[in-house]
Amino acid sequence: MTEAGSTYIVTGMHCGSCALNVRDEVRDVPGVTDVVVDAASGNLTVVGVGFTDAQVHAAVAEAGYRVTS
């Protein structure tokens, strides 16, 4: 299978620590191989194989934030 990337907008992040919390939760999603988070823009990019949007949304929620798109 080929890795694919998805980009999401996360609300509520204000600093680098926020971004690290999101990154750490999303990294634990099965199939995710890379996570890039930018707290300033709210962009979350997830790369991997076999993960779902629902899994990413749940991981972001576990970190205390919300995906808006």
Asked if residue 39 is part of any domain, the answer here is: yes
Asked if residue 51 is part of any domain, the answer here is: yes
State yes or no: pLDDT of 2 exceeds 90.
Answer: no
Q: What does the pLDDT read at residue 1?
A: 67
Q: Give the rounded distance of the alpha carbon of 65 from its chain centre.
A: 10
CB atoms within 10 A of CB 62: 14
Q: How far apart are CA 49 and CA 30, in angstroms?
A: 9
Asked if residue 1 is part of any domain, the answer here is: no
Asked if residue 14 is part of any domain, the answer here is: yes
Asked if residue 55 is part of any domain, the answer here is: yes
CATH of the domain at 42: 3.30.70.100
How is residue 39 written in tokens? 């707290």
Please name the residue that has the structure tokens 């694919």.
4
pLDDT digit string (tens) for 8-53? 999 999 999 999 999 999 999 999 999 999 999 999 999 999 999 9
State yes or no: pLDDT of 67 exceeds 90.
Answer: yes
Q: Are 4 and 53 in contact (CB under 8 A)?
A: no
- For the chain, strand residue ranges (E) read 4-11, 32-38, 43-48, 66-67
Residue 40, domain extent: 6-67
> Considering its fold, how many domains does the chain have in total?
1
- pTM beyond 0.75: yes
